[in-house]
Amino acid sequence: MTNQKYSIVGVAVLAAIAAQTPALAQQDGQPSARGTLEEIVVTTQRREASLQDVPVAVSAISEMTLQNRQVTESRDLARFVPSLKMSNNITSPTNLSPSLRGSLQQDASLVVAESPFGIYVDDVYVARLNGNNVTLADIERVEVLRGPQGTLYGRNTLAGAIKYVSRTPDQDPWAIVTAGAGNWDQYRLSASVGGPLSDDWAGSLSGQINNKDKQFTNVVTGERTGKERNIATRGKLRYMGSDVFDAVLSMSYSRSENDSLQLVPRTTPGVPSNCTDLPPETRCQFTSDDLVAPPGVPFFGVATPSGLNNPAPITENPSGETKQTILSLNMSYDLGPATLRSITGYVKVDDFFSTDFSGAGVILGASKIDNDHWSQELQIQGLAFDDRLNYIAGAYYFRETGDQAFGWRVVTPTSTSQIQAKTTSVALFAQADYQFTPALKGTLGLRWVEDDKDFGIQFQRLPTSLVPGAPTDEVALANRYSEITPRFGLDYTIEPTGAIDTMLLYVSAARGFKSGGYNGIALFGLEDARTAYGPEANWTYEAGIKTDLFNRRLRINANYFLAKISDLALNATVEIAPGLLSFPVQNAGDATIQGLEFEITAVPMDGLALFLNGAITGAKYDRLDPTSAPAVAITEFNVPNPRPPQNPDYTVTIGFDYGVDMMLGGHSSRFKIGADHFRTDRYVTSATTDFLTSAYHRTSAYTGLEIGNNWEVRFDVRNLTGEETIASGGRALGGFITLAPREYMLSATYRL
């Protein structure tokens, strides 16, 4: 506890220093040619606006910053967005367990699992978490909205939304090709080309392939494992032949092949697994430092025997494949005083994994998913009352169907099960901003949403199961969830004066909502599946500031939030009998999550950008269901004050970018160098509360040379200091998730 206090004080001192000097900065907002911070344009409120004018906590990460921070896939975002966690799910490297401001979904592998925040690709809602580790190919910008976004963004935006905005063709042509190679069999090839096809049409085509392998050693088979190979492509066609009508047709396809997620085997010989009958001073909550590998197993080592491929779909060796297709048609028509917009989207996901959850061949599971969903949104937005009223209203329809088949092996072939799921969602929404004075603006928003869900599961116990019981069972459920989510806000703009170039002050109150759902993990039976878990909701109160200072050389965006969460939905691991586990989702109780989030950017001198971002957070349960996993942990693991999972006391990232112009071989060139350092305090990993992961850090760096107007050569390093970190996992299963070892890559880029 003492170390925690010192760590928090250290971060607070660092933030205070940053607020007093233009020498520290947020991750985005690269310096312009004049050495000042450029304006960042976002579409957070479903229309273009400057980031500094939007009264919402938003992290906007541009294409250049994505490159400099080595953000190549969704899980990398967590290092640069306050309060966000995107950690690997235990099943596959393509599935992430998302968490934001205390709301989370840890079992991302299920066809019935839903994120606590919305995920959008070019304004199309992507409902499945299978494949949510999006490969960032040809992305122009990523926007992460924090806090409930139900009014404008729809279903399950309980804690926020992530928007991936890809490059859209227009009359300006471009062509970019990149090739790179590095350690661990890494290679990356990407290309993007686009521009006008005629006076009325423009098009673009992009593709990317990346690969890495052999980061792990299987001590049983002697093989090097850990393959992750991703292919992604996107095509866009845009009609621009009218002054009042615009249409963009987009199609993207991605495919990932991997060795599933490599879970390393660990035990806690110095920490008992149950304190119920032990003296009250006994410690049963373990940390990363208590984990011990089996003899002969290295840190990045597994001990999975080959050939344990029964029952299907378990494969001979751990493996995985995810395919995702996204189709969208985005149209807008200018009516004069208003604009009508239509967003049509279709998403198809095929996902497979076969994973050794113990890292030692004891508990294996495999799954096949066939899922598709489509959505239709209609909007009308415009200005009224001498442009003092800015409004948007619309309707939304969503329909999803999915099937999932499981096979389980616990020492011996144990069971199979099949899930069928269907969701239909409808919503009506409206939001209006009214300019009371040139400086004071008010916001009122409202959304009504109704979800209808159907769920069926069939279970077959195999004769070889070590646990006896009925050979077959089935469950069928249907539920309807309906909610109204309002938003209230006020913001005030300070006139430029002295050192202040721009300043926006804002307060808001918003309600977030996520539907209830179903328990689909059934190793030994359907006891958990018989009951649906309920919806989760919150009221979030927020106050923030966005300001540019000293001739746009210092940008400070900071906010304080207080989230009152009702019926927090958490994934738990429950031992219902000795050696007999179940994995229900529980409405554990009510919680309060509060925090100070900050993103600071500065340009103290031409060519140098410094940044600081992070969050200082407090989290507690206000009420616990006495049967929930956190409540049971009080006696089972001797945790007198269980804490909501995935909420460290602080996270912080600090770094810099520096560039200097030079002449090289008669060409105007630019040398670049940069680095960032991320640190998180310790935190409880799951509702079960037995694992308190130790604090850890990560450092990344790059150097590059731009030659003329067309060429760039870069050398990138991640985990510069070669840290060995276990970030998540479960003692009950035996397997744990590591962060990657040191990775480096040399690449060359040609831009036309």
What does the pLDDT read at residue 457?
Answer: 98
| Mean pLDDT, rounded, for 475-500 | 96
Instruction: Answer yes or no: is pLDDT of 573 > 90.
Output: no
Look up the domain containing 289 and give its range.
2-751
Q: How far apart are CA 238 and CA 247, in angstroms?
A: 6
Average pLDDT over residues 53-76: 91
Position 20 scores a pLDDT of 35
According to the model, what pLDDT value does residue 30 have? 54
| Confidence band, pLDDT 50/70/90 cuts, at residue 316 | very high
Q: Has residue 3 got a pLDDT over 60?
A: no
Asked if pLDDT for residue 26 goes beyond 50, the answer is no
Report which DSSP code applies to 385. T
pLDDT tens track for 701-723: 999 999 998 999 999 999 999 99
Cβ contact 90:133 at 8 Å: no
> Is a pLDDT exceeding 60 seen at residue 27?
no
3-state SS of 514-566 is ECCECCCCCCCCCCHHHCCECCEEEEEEEEEEEEEECCCCEEEEEEEEEEEEE
Q: Cα separation of 392 and 383, whole Å?
A: 9
What pLDDT does 380 receive? 97
Q: What is the DSSP string of 445-497?
A: EEEEEEEEEEEEEEEEE-TT-SS---SEEEEEEEEEEEEEEEEEEEEEEEPPB
Q: What is the pLDDT of residue 643?
A: 95
Q: Is the pLDDT of residue 5 over 60?
A: no
Name the residue with tokens 């799910």: 89
Please give the average per-residue pLDDT across 602-607, as a whole number. Answer: 94
Per-residue confidence band for 13, with pLDDT thresholds at 50, 70 and 90: very low
| Six-digit token string for 617 | 């957070």
**For residues 199 and 170, what is the distance between their CA atoms, to the nearest angstrom?**
10
pLDDT band at 280 (very low <50, low <70, confident <90, very high): confident
Element (H, E) at 17: helix 2-20
Q: Note the pTM of the prediction, 2 decimals.
A: 0.92
**Mean pLDDT over all residues of the chain?**
92
Q: What is the pLDDT of residue 390?
A: 96
Q: What is the pLDDT of residues 219-235, one digit of tens each?
A: 999 999 999 999 999 99
Cα 122 from chain centre: 16
Task: Name the nearest CA neighbour of 106 among 733, 743, 748, 729.
Answer: 729
What CATH number is attached to the domain comprising 112? 2.40.170.20
128 or 506, higher pLDDT:
506
- Phi/psi for 636 (5° steps) reads -70, -35
Asked whether the beta carbons of 213 and 227 are under 8 A apart, the reply is: yes
Dihedral over Cα of 145, 148, 150, 154: its sign:
positive
For residue 19, is pLDDT > 50?
A: no
**How far apart (Å, rounded) are the C-alpha atoms in residues 19 and 656?**
16
Whether the predicted pLDDT of 24 surpasses 80: no
**Mean pLDDT, residues 342-363:** 96
DSSP letter at 209 equals E
Q: How far apart are CA 197 and CA 258, in angstroms?
A: 38
Q: Is 35 left (phi over 0), alpha (psi -120 to 50) or beta?
A: left
* Dihedral, CA of residue 357, residue 359, residue 360 and residue 364, to nearest 10: 20
Q: What is the mean pLDDT of residues 390-411?
A: 97
Q: How confident is the model at residue 358 (pLDDT cuts 50, 70, 90)?
A: very high
The pLDDT of residue 28 is above 90: no
Would you say 487 and 445 are in contact if contact means Cβ atoms under 8 Å apart?
Answer: yes
Question: What pLDDT score was predicted for residue 365?
Answer: 97
Mean pLDDT of 378-392: 95
- Give Dmax (Cα) for the chain: 80
Q: Residue 476 pLDDT more than 50? A: yes
Is residue 31 very low, low, confident or very high in pLDDT (cuts 50, 70, 90)?
A: low
Q: Please give the average per-residue pLDDT across 685-698, as a whole number.
A: 95
Q: Is the pLDDT of residue 248 over 70?
A: yes
Token digits for 32?
């312009």
Question: Which pair of tokens denotes residue 69?
Answer: 């921070």
**Sign of the dihedral defined by the CA atoms of residues 110, 112, 114, 120, in that order:** positive
Contact 682, 617 (CB under 8 A): no
Number of domains comprising the chain: 1
pLDDT confidence tier of residue 88, bands split at 50, 70 and 90:
confident
Count the residues in the chain: 752
Burial of 487 (0-12, 13-18, 19+ CB in 10 A): buried
Tell me, letter by letter, the H, E, C secondary structure of 26-87.
Answer: CCCCCECCCCCECCCEECCCCCCEEHHHCCCEEEEEEHHHHHHCCCCEHHHHHHCCCCEEEE
Residue 580 is predicted with a pLDDT of: 80
Q: How confident is the model at residue 134 (pLDDT cuts 50, 70, 90)?
A: low
Residues 6 or more apart whose Cβ sits within 8 Å of residue 76: 69, 70
| Residue 33 pLDDT greater than 70, yes or no | no
Q: Could you give the 3-state DSSP secondary structure of residue 249?
A: strand
**pLDDT tens figures, 180-201:** 999 999 999 999 999 999 999 9
Percent of the chain scoring above 70 in pLDDT: 95
Per-residue pLDDT reduced to its tens digit, 295-305: 999 999 999 99
Give the range among 16-25, 99-108, 533-542, 613-622 with minimum mean pLDDT.
16-25
